[in-house]
Amino acid sequence: MGGITGLLMALAVAGGLLAVSLKNVLHAIFGLALTLLAVAGLFAVLGSPFVATMQVLIYVGGITVAMVFAVMLSTVVQKHATESPWRRAGAAVVALGFAVGVGMVIAAAGLPDGPAPELVADAWTVRQIGTSLLGDYNVVFEVLSVVLLLAIIGAIVISRHEGEEKQS
Amino acid sequence: MPETVTQMVDSPALAILIGIAGVMGALTFNALFLVWLERKASAWIQRRMGPTEVGPFGVLQTIADMLKLLSKQLITPKHIDKPLYHIAPVLVFVPVVAATSLFPFDEHIALSNLDIGLVLVFAFGGLGIVGIFMAGWGSNNKYALLGAMRSVAQNISYEIPLILSALSVVLMVNTMGGPETNGMNLAQVAQMQHDKGYWFVLVQPVAALIYFIAALAETNRAPFDIPEAESELIAGFHTEYSGMRFALFFFAEYANMFIVAMVATVLFFGGWSGPVLPGPAWFFIKTYGIVFAMMWIRWTFPRLRFDQLMSFCWMILIPLSILNLLVTAFIARAV
């Protein structure tokens, strides 16, 4: 593990900790942005600059800003005032369960021991990613666009609903 | 294909230093020159003189301004969101420096030559938006926040036609070249126009027009300068910034103009390609020609209203750019 990889990993974890611990929702979102940026850096280090760029373009430039916008458009900036111990306990159980589940999957996957194989230069060019997205993984790609469509329809439904309430 | 600094210099650290020094020097000159040009151009258009006192035609005026800004006291307002307020100018400035290093300004030499150069430019543009938002929120000022919200809404919306119009060119380059061609590599796009002997603005006029309009909005230039509409919002998201912090925003704004003009030069106007003069000369003549057109528009047209701006993007520009992309795809398929 090189120094840069370690630094990026540490940054990703630090951003995640900021995202869950900060009281101010906006600060938490910017903590998340730090994590996403660090993950983009990890992609670059792992030899996939295109995915890294897309991570920055979509997640840092798009999703983070959309989240900030959602917070701004809601009337009250929440400060975790309604949090109860039960909810905290529930969240802890869910998080722990998820971590254990992921850990079991990784353990069961049987990853090879020893040093990682050499990075293949140009293993993930834009052309290859495009070919596999529209070829082998065509179904997954299309299902993803259905999810996005649902999100857009949901946004329209919510905004329409609010508009009617204001008029009445 | 251009040779990069990394290939010419042995040590990577030295290459990075050369790159940063080159970009910072170019951007500093760019900001000084463009501020002077903007003042002179606006003066010509409005039948005024503009700066005349410092140096011939006032060319040294902006250097004096810069020294003043450097030596000014930094005023930090009370009740700000401290971390965000302080990070914001840096976060606006850094992506601009990174994006500037990506351009092939000559046939033989470039700072970098990446297969995903075009996407990377847009990705860095997206990072700047986060910085603008931090500035607006961190300032704890209603005008700054309104300006930041407008800026973010505008930037997110106009990014769509901007990227779609650039994508038309990428599609065309990939179809015209062999399987080794990569339309997202800025050097290859310029090279192909040089080889074909014509500029892509001739075959993609609609994409070029959409790109230019969207670029005006992306750089918050009039008639889309709603985020800092001075008659409504004082100075928008950088209202509460002073001295060098304000200068960083100003610097980034002019650097952004420079960057979108460079993208337009490479995608639509043949990059460094041109007769007689050397490559970099053509590259910068074209780039500053586009920048001048942006200034010309700024001082000629009035500002749009915010709802007009948004509906223009969503109702006209985005459908038109999608249509243009589809037509390009069909023609590329047929040829």
Is pLDDT at A96 greater than 90 in this prediction?
Answer: yes
Is pLDDT at A80 greater than 60 in this prediction?
Answer: no
Model confidence at A166, in pLDDT bands (50, 70, 90)?
A: low
Report the percentage of chain A scoring pLDDT > 70: 83
Residues in chain B with pLDDT values less than 50: none
Question: What are the boundaries of each domain within chain B?
Answer: 76-334
Cβ within 8 Å, pair B137-A62? no
Q: Mean pLDDT over all residues of chain A?
A: 80
Q: Which two tokens stand for residue A120?
A: 């293949």
What pLDDT is stored for residue B11 in this prediction? 75
| B125 close to A61: Cβ distance less than 8 angstroms | yes
Cβ within 8 Å, pair A50-B137? no
Contacts of A50 (CB under 8 A, 6+ apart): A124, A125, A126, A129, B115, B116, B119
Measured between beta carbons, the chain B residues lying within 8 angstroms of A61 are: 123, 125-127, 129-130, 159
Bridge partners of residue B109, in order along the sequence: B3
CA distance A92 to chain B (A): 29
Report the percentage of chain B scoring pLDDT > 90: 3
Helix and strand numbers (H, E) in chain A are 7, 0
Alpha-helical runs (H) found in B177-317: 186-196, 200-203, 205-218, 230-233, 243-268, 279-298, 306-311
Taking the CA atoms of chain A, what radius of gyration do you get in angstroms? 20
A105-130 residue pLDDT tens: 988 877 777 777 776 666 677 777 88
Residue B4, classed as helix, strand or coil, is strand
A32-71 residue pLDDT tens: 888 998 998 888 888 778 888 888 888 887 788 888 877 7
Is pLDDT at A168 greater than 50 in this prediction?
Answer: no
Measured between beta carbons, the chain B residues lying within 8 angstroms of A54 are: 119, 123
Q: Which two tokens stand for residue B202?
A: 């001739």
Q: Residue B52 to residues B57, B60, B63, B70, B140: CA-CA distances in angstroms?
A: 5, 9, 13, 22, 38
B216-246 residue pLDDT tens: 888 877 777 776 766 677 777 777 787 788 8
What pLDDT is stored for residue B170 in this prediction? 87
- B116 in contact with chain A, both atoms CB, cutoff 8 A: yes
Is pLDDT at A101 greater than 90 in this prediction?
Answer: yes
CA distance B253 to chain A (A): 18
Q: Which two tokens stand for residue B260?
A: 């979108």
